[in-house]
Copies of this chain bind each other. A is one copy, B any other.
């Protein structure tokens, strides 16, 4: 780990430059407040059509912000001069569905037929919830959000299939209603919740034992509220066992130049 530290006022371009130089290899949570961060999936072009249809047919877990042309490392709609080969702090390389390694730069693995998908991330709507004064419990307690596999099948497309994964945030009834209103307005970052209340109805046995992330802190009288989660496409991709896929490493996201405000439809 480097001793490098980012200024709290660093903007998206400053941070991407620090990442590109190798000065920042940590997670991106809390960096560049006000700007959207994105999940990254890089696939050979031959799988891109199936994956794009998979995303379109499952828009809540897979809200696509940008798709590049084959070989182009720049998601041009998301910022100036982004190079996806260098500009994320940590990547994961999968071969035939197995995690092979992590690295901080993927230039040496780049292929001319790579198509890159940038997918909306819940960081954006969590910022909107916090800005509205809601108690986003896992942030309050400095934990990772709890995530759960559900029994809800995704619409398959080519090799991509699987079950929906959800993240859960507990709220009082009043704050749950407000959270639904706020996230309804942000369909490009998972949008409104898919479920509220009884976890068993979507195949979750025990809220205290999430499949990913950390256990929740739930108060008496809270309602659990469930949103589609960006881990969903990650699992679908692992399950597809493609020869070669690159993704971001969890929490180590692409920082874009897109204001979160611009992800609201109204």
**Chain A residues near B (Cβ < 8 Å):** 173-174, 176-177, 180-181, 184, 192-198, 201, 221, 223, 266
Contact = CB atoms under 8 A, between A and B. Distances in A.
Contacts of A197: 173, 197, 223
A223 B193 CA distance: 15
8 contacts: A173-B196, A173-B197, A173-B201, A176-B196, A180-B180, A181-B184, A196-B223, A266-B266
Contacts of A196: 173, 176-177, 196, 223
Interface of A is mostly: mixed
A181 B192 CA distance: 9
Contacts of A174: 194-195
A240 to B, nearest CB: 28
A195 B177 CA distance: 8
Nearest to A176: B196
A48 B139 CA distance: 47
Contacts of A198: 173, 221
